[in-house]
Structure 1
């Protein structure tokens, strides 16, 4: 029997599992390696930080999806790979052989260890829930009237959204404790790549909420001095095993350790390996954004089905040139940007909420597309 090993339960692999549940492939053993039974959807994380959703509401039930697909779920992580021998070493100690391998493990963040303030990294998402719960508990126990100084590092969408969401949640939890918020970015532009009107709207939100914006500023111990909590949302890194030549087993990667793939989402060095989403490196380069992984899902599904069946490979992945960005602002509103078009308001938040819930709902047990 042919074994197809899926490592990671990202947006693309969720679509592969859904497809397998609806139309299994005879003679294929499907195995999924994922840290746990739930996989948070990154697009709804800011809403969860802000208290709009419970954790369970923003997660794909990977265990249920795997069961529906007839896949064996291994709740662990990949720690090493031998792409030539076609084996994967797991954190559990198991060494698993595979015939075909697909990687959808995302990126990670590794904040500096010497900043002198508690740091909450927004990746990996699996560790974010307990860390945020602990931060909320500490804030709830703080003395009345004592301000909390909150800083987010990263001038992109993740830093902007997470800071506003966290600020709103902290204020709602303890209205008697002011929150002094700062957004720091090494870059000299806020939200690069968004429509000028959307950037202007985002700047007004920061001004209205009293957030200090420091562009062109690296986060060092001096920058972080006096902060009670840092939200780290910048500097996406490949997974540790990808950055370690001894653990990636000859797999071709770029300078950052991201897996180099062709238009058919296959490794350029090992054609039995596929990689999608943030863990992969494309030519030309793509931003590390979930919107690309979502679009890669159907392409990956078709490629894997053809591969295990021994058929000709289908058409490759063509990245979208323009895509919709929806940014929650933590106050029941959101900002939309696509190309040079933009909009903002409560209706944009309702639109974003409907899109996000619809995406997650597509992976509910019994749902068919």
Structure 2
């Protein structure tokens, strides 16, 4: 049997720009085995700027612009680190990422684009924004358009800069405002130079005509001296009314890059040679608008970024493979400019010729949507076929489909199997061991004190050691917090995939840094552990905690108690779908962020009031509520509609996505009357799930309010009643 090949080199792609998105897609088709690929980006999506004017005009939804980096990196076999790069050290070969720390590399590439903010203009930071970064612009534009339509704000827009981008966005704004508020819409475009965009007089004439049709006021030779909340002040004293001021003039380098030790232009762009290699650094590349081509300077335009991708991919592979046979990028001398004209019409300019009309918009639309389909419809990489001859039961175990085993708590042994195994253990024979199997943690007597001890580990659902370690630490601490204990000490158990020593050091560094952040904040010390290499990454922790008074267990719930849940459910469904490339990256990113948040404060709020409490993990909400019912001798009712769900979980459950352990969970803790997707999610295995607590009905409302005020998505999701242990949905 072929063993997994060892990882020997780290390739880090800084930024999810067009070039890197294409590189990642091509990498997924033909990966270079032995390379660990990391993509760093502030968010889970990367917007395609070519469709921005169409979105502002109202022709495209916001989602239509987004490249889903979660799906893309899954396809590429890469890890996605969500965070903004803030520094790079090309000598130490590390990138610093906000909220993550340092990430080491052997070969790296930068593709972070530009911004069009103008902080040097007084009032810009307070009262205006740049067209790039695009996310902020589109969000604030939607808010402004809604406010203008509702009559809450004057429909006045000013665009600073009359280049192609400024003209397109002025026309798009005018089109959307006119549709929203009618002729009251006012759009102005301000240009410091003598004329608006256009490399030939015919282009300029047609753009002026298009703006005249929308009533866009054109101000040329106009110097902006100050921006106010309700207008733009010019050097001649004129104030142009504006409640939404947009900057498009010029292209500015991101501050961290402009302040880096890399070779830069006066404007702060990274200088690269003809092979897209950063000058003086054979292992560092740059592409797109953040790079300056010293051999063939070109304007900042997305067409160059797109065409750089195959060359960059070839060169990255050459350096990683040790061949060194890179090749040059030769940019085209001219390219077709397609300019949106507000309505579904466009202008085309090339070789000094200009034409315009609706047919050109359709052409542009086909080009743009074809580009986006490359990322929205990623090739389906078929898994290896099963052997013709199979042992009886293999096909049934795979449920008729060749699906991967789920990660996180979705890969746990089923609750029935585990209970049967634990039932065979002898009774506890030591007086200082106060509880046996079946609760969140064991309670030990140590002199006059009580200590709890628990262990937990997770099969990796992300290739990011730092993020996995944070979530694994929070997950393991849940057992200690749920029993009302204060975390004391932790032992780490780390299994890394086979990799070279430098990659081992980087991975272990990220794991221990993340774990220390979580345990240190919880008041616990990491005192040691064990590490090894294996087939895949698995992280876990053994934790002790100290209890003052009686530990909170599953026993103690009383008839009439309300069941409070502190965190949404749906992680198993989302993670199962993400493994298949079917989950929305924004939903996955939001869920992972929530999973990594510690819950000690939630436990502290509940502990003084909880008659019984547990953390909801692999056996699902129903399984853990069943455990409380069984230990307490009560029945339980779940209000399925009241259970908070992670965004995207319900739709994925309706589509039939289930975690590997789901069927076993449902069999072990049936819920009478539970139907449909919401009923299915009651058995969904949770990783780093919330707390389920039984509290007096009179205290439940105030506790939920306190939890929500502390930032937890808590809810009262049912109650405990008199009767034989069991569950029903109401």
Indicate if the aligned counterparts of 2:155 and 2:181 stay in contact, CA closer than 8 A.
no
Give yes or no for contact 1:24–1:69 (8 Å, CA) kept in 2: yes
Q: How many angstroms apart in 2 are the aligned matches of 1:329 and 1:313?
A: 45
Residues 292 and 111 (structure 1 numbering): CA distance in 2 closer, same or farther, change over 3 Å?
A: same
CA distance in 2, matches of 1:287, 1:234: 13
Counterpart of 1:190? 196
Alignment of 1:331-346 (within 5 A): 331-346=343-358
Judge conservation of contact 1:35–1:77 (CA < 8 Å) in 2: yes
* Alignment match, 1:126: 135
Question: Match for residue 185 of structure 2?
Answer: 179
Cα deviation code 1:205-263 (max 9, x no counterpart): 1122221211221222223553222121112111111222xxx1x21111111101000
Name the residue aligned to 1:114: 122
Aligned counterpart for 1:299 among listed residues 302, 308, 311: 311
Which of 51, 56, 62 matches 2:58? Answer: 51
Q: Secondary structure at the match of 1:362?
A: helix
Match runs of 1:219-238 below 5 Å: 219-221=224-226, 222-223=233-234, 224-238=239-253
Shift of 1:137: 2.6
Determine which of 218, 223, 243 is the counterpart of 2:258. 243
Q: TM-score, normalised by structure 2?
A: 0.48
Q: Does 1:279 align with 2:284?
A: no
Q: Which residues of structure 2 form unaligned runs of 5+? A: 1-7, 227-232, 381-730
Question: For 2:274, which of 263, 278, 284 is the aligned residue?
Answer: 263
SS at match of 2:344: coil
User: Secondary structure, in 3 states, of the residue corresponding to 1:287?
Assistant: coil
Q: Which has the larger radius of gyration?
A: 2
Contact 1:65–1:365, Cα closer than 8 Å, also in 2: no
Partner of 2:320: 308
* Alignment partner of 1:151 out of 158, 172, 175: 158
Distance across 2 between alignment mates of 1:237 and 1:211: 26
Contact in 2 for aligned 1:163/1:231 (Cα 8 Å): no
SS at match of 2:186: strand
Alpha-carbon RMSD across the aligned residues, in angstroms, is 1.7
- Could you tell me whether the CA contact under 8 Å between 2:174 and 2:214 is conserved in 1? no
For residues 159-205 of structure 1, the C-alpha deviation after alignment (integer angstroms, 9 at most, x for no partner) is 00111111111221223x6112211111223214x343222211111
Contact 1:196 1:340 in 2 (8 A): no
Q: TM-score, normalised by structure 1?
A: 0.93
1:206 to 192, 211, 235: 211
Aligned to 2:22: 15
Residue 265 (structure 2) aligned to one of 223, 233, 254: 254
Residues 130 and 248 of structure 2 are in contact (CA less than 8 Å); yes or no, is this contact kept in structure 1?
yes
Contact 1:195 1:339 (C-alpha < 8 Å) held by counterparts = no
Moved runs in structure 1, 4+ residues, more than 4 A? none
- Larger RCO (CA within 8 A; separation ≥ 6): 1
Cα distance in 2 for partners of 1:363, 1:252 equals 33
Q: What pairs with 1:52-67 in structure 2 (closer than 5 Å)?
A: 52-67=59-74
| Matched position secondary structure for 2:241 | coil
Q: Which runs of 5+ in 1 are unaligned?
A: none
